[in-house]
Amino acid sequence: MRVTTPCGPARSRVPDNWHQIDWRRVERNVRGIQVRIAKATQEGQWRKVKALQRWLTRSYCGKAMAVRRVTENQGSRTPGIDKEIWKEPEARVEAIGKMQRRGYKPKPLRRVFIPKANGKERPLGIPTMLDRAMQALYLLALEPVSESSSDPNSYGFRINRSTHDAMGQLFVSLSRKASAEWVLEADIKGCFDWINHDWLLRNVRMDRVVIGKWLKAGVIHKGLLQKTEAGTPQGGIISPTLANVTLNGLESGLHAHLIAQVGKTKAKRLKVNVVRYADDFVITGKSKELLEQEVKPWVEKFLKERGLELSMEKTHIVHIDDGFDFLGWNFRKYAGKLLITPSNKNVQTFYRKAKEVISGHKTARQGELIALLNPMLRGWANYHSPAVAKKAFSRMDHLLFRAIWRWSKRRHPGKRMDWIRKKYFHSVELRNWIFAAPKMDNNGKWRTATLLKLADTPIRRHEKVKGSYNPFNPEHEKYGETLRQQRLLHSRRHRTQWTTLFRSQAGCCALCGGAITRETGWHDHHIVYRAMGGSDTLANRVLLHPICHSRVHQLGLNVVKPASPRRL
């Protein structure tokens, strides 16, 4: 079923039902405008960029995409100061009509605090649903500009880039014998809180009137309105991209400065490399004097223009033989060989969280405790799987075993040790002392649920994304498809039923034919409903986008299994 969905400012036929929107066409039209924005950015045609951005932000397709994003993400149930959330399809359709630039006035943010790893609290500003949707709409227009003008080795809050890519680039910069030996480990003090508003208004390529309203919206804390004279509050959808735009030029500008000082050939010999993830960055250099006297002063001047400064507590210059921590890993050379291992701080933080779960569920059933711990263990193991982590995994397994053994003994103070061991710890295949419990699966069959053993996690080297990759460049489409499929197939679901379905559908949704990615997510749909007697075999299942899955059930659509893999 296809519904005509116009995407220009002038529209005559607009769906009045949320589930009748042709999302495949919406995505295609929005993507087409974004590609044109990216191309105009690369060619320096800023008037054309502005015109295309205006077209996108006034289009029905752009507004529908924005509403869809803010109603399907994890924060969709968190209201702003107006206590409004868009649960029902009717509310979402109505919201699209409210998204108008003329007369738009954002409401103040709702201030909340979340704990940080160092014991302090991080302030967040929660916008209203309408303000979130407007930010998501203008982000659609800003992101192609940001991606086309970002530094090659900037990895935070960017499409298809992650902390693992930053780790991979640092390995490239430091692993050789002739690599740089000194490292400036830097951190920006309160980056989101102190960005200069005037600088943003002068340099961000988007509607200045709208961004100015967001920056000056204010914050409600304990019933009082507080003005926002600087910074872009954490919690807004567009805030990470604004921070990235603020710091763009750190890498390219530093290289240009060094070339102007000593020439291109000599500048290359200085071995200066910049790797940035959000507001944390690392700069390598040939000598300590170079980093202290030339690089650090230039970085401080660069940040000062934007209202920022380095944190003296977290900014250090170290030798690679002494090592440094970055993004939860420790980078250090041992006898000339670079090893990347989980940092002690990261290991201790994770153990405290796991220990709190064990201590906080003293009366929980064994299977319930396993269900709580396994997702935590799997996520931590997957994060460190590209690093040299086997020793850390084995050590964590030992610490968790001791904690669970104490948990088991506390429940039966009058029982002997052998009785406790037989009740909670079992032999699975060739292994003994496995914390396990019987569990009924979805088919009504009993199986054994076991606590995940971290040491079983395979170490897989991460394939770093190319620095020049631009997701809005059609010339990079094939590379992006290959990269996306490789990463998805090497996730924790490798060789599982979902991987088999993903391959059989060539990575496409069985309903709309759009690509399935980590960003879109996916649902496992039964063609013949189980309530109607459908089986759980792969022949009766397909992968769908979450929104497509919702359409199938709301509109009663029939889904057929693709006869042959489609091209992405």
For the record, the structure tokens of 345 come out as 């701080």
Closest CA relative to residue 170, chosen from 94, 40, 281 = 281
Residues 13 and 180: their CA atoms lie apart, in Å, by 61
Cα 450 to chain centroid distance, Å, stands at 29
| Whether the predicted pLDDT of 95 surpasses 90 | yes
Q: How confident is the model at residue 120 (pLDDT cuts 50, 70, 90)?
A: confident
**Contacts (Cβ under 8 Å, ≥6 apart) of 532:** none
Q: What is the 3-state secondary structure (H, E, C) of 34-70?
A: HHHHHHHHHCCCHHHHHHHHHHHHHCHHHHHHHHHHH
DSSP 125-165: EE--HHHHHHHHHHHHHHHHHHHHHS-TTB-TT-TT--HHH
Given the DSSP bridges, would you call strands 324-326 and 329-334 parallel, antiparallel or unpaired? antiparallel
Averaged pLDDT, 230-246: 88
Rounded to the nearest 5°, which phi and psi values hold at 3? -120, 130
Burial 81-112 (b: 16+ CB within 10 A, else e): beeebbeebeebbebbeebeeeeeebebbbbe
Averaged pLDDT, 346-372: 94
Q: What is the DSSP letter of 480?
A: H
Burial 245-281 (b: 16+ CB within 10 A, else e): bbbbbbbeebbebbeeeeeeeebeebbbbbbbbbbbb
pLDDT, one tens digit per residue, over 409-452 is 999 998 999 999 999 998 888 888 999 887 766 666 667 889 99
* Angle in degrees, 0-180, between the axes of helices 60-72 and 546-555, rounded to the nearest 10: 100
Please give the residue that has the higher pLDDT: either 520 or 200.
Answer: 200
Residues 425 and 437: their CA atoms lie apart, in Å, by 9
Cα 348 to chain centroid distance, Å, stands at 23
CB 271 within 8 A of CB 180: yes
For the record, the structure tokens of 560 come out as 């057929």
Q: Which secondary structure element, helix H or strand E, spans residue 553, and what is its range?
A: helix 546-555
pTM: 0.84
Give me the pLDDT at residue 466, please.
92
CB 321 within 8 A of CB 332: yes
For the record, the structure tokens of 433 come out as 């002392």
Angle at 46 between CA 40 and CA 49, to 5 degrees: 55
- Between the CA atoms of 413, 419, 424 and 429, what dihedral angle is there, to the nearest 10 degrees? 160
Helical H segments across 292-384, by residue range: 296-304, 344-359, 366-384
CB 159 within 8 A of CB 240: no
| Whether the predicted pLDDT of 246 surpasses 60 | yes
Q: Which secondary structure element, helix H or strand E, spans residue 325, and what is its range?
A: strand 324-326
Q: What is the DSSP letter of 71?
A: H
DSSP count for the chain of H helices, then E strands:
21, 16
Helical H segments across 231-343, by residue range: 239-247, 250-262, 264-269, 288-290, 296-304
Number of Cβ atoms within 10 Å of the Cβ of 524: 13
User: What class is the 474-555 domain?
Assistant: mainly alpha
Closest CA relative to residue 66, chosen from 139, 10, 146, 143 = 139
Rounded to the nearest 5°, which phi and psi values hold at 215? -65, -30
**Contacts (Cβ under 8 Å, ≥6 apart) of 334:** none
Task: Report the percentage of the chain scoring pLDDT > 90.
Answer: 60
Q: How confident is the model at residue 12 (pLDDT cuts 50, 70, 90)?
A: very low
Rounded to the nearest 5°, which phi and psi values hold at 341? -125, 160
Across all residues in the chain, what is the average pLDDT? 88
Residues 50 and 40: their CA atoms lie apart, in Å, by 10
Size (the chain), residues: 568
Give me the pLDDT at residue 525, please.
86
Give me the pLDDT at residue 564, please.
54
**Contacts (Cβ under 8 Å, ≥6 apart) of 177:** 336
For the record, the structure tokens of 355 come out as 């220990």
Residues 340 and 29: their CA atoms lie apart, in Å, by 43
| Whether the predicted pLDDT of 554 surpasses 60 | yes
CB 205 within 8 A of CB 145: yes
Q: Which residues pair with 446 in a beta bridge?
A: 440
pLDDT, one tens digit per residue, over 265-314 is 999 999 999 999 988 999 999 999 999 999 999 999 999 999 999 988 88
pLDDT, one tens digit per residue, over 461-505 is 888 999 999 988 888 877 876 677 677 666 554 457 778 888 888
Residues 107 and 128: their CA atoms lie apart, in Å, by 7
Give me the pLDDT at residue 228, please.
86
Cα 310 to chain centroid distance, Å, stands at 25
Q: How confident is the model at residue 222 (pLDDT cuts 50, 70, 90)?
A: confident
Give me the pLDDT at residue 534, please.
64
Closest CA relative to residue 147, chosen from 48, 231, 248, 253 = 248
| Whether the predicted pLDDT of 532 surpasses 80 | no
| Whether the predicted pLDDT of 567 surpasses 50 | no
| Chain region(s) in the chain for CATH 1.10.30 | 474-555
CB 69 within 8 A of CB 95: no
Q: Which residues pair with 342 in a beta bridge?
A: 329
| Whether the predicted pLDDT of 8 surpasses 60 | no
Give me the pLDDT at residue 506, please.
87
CB 389 within 8 A of CB 341: yes
pLDDT, one tens digit per residue, over 33-49 is 999 999 999 999 999 99
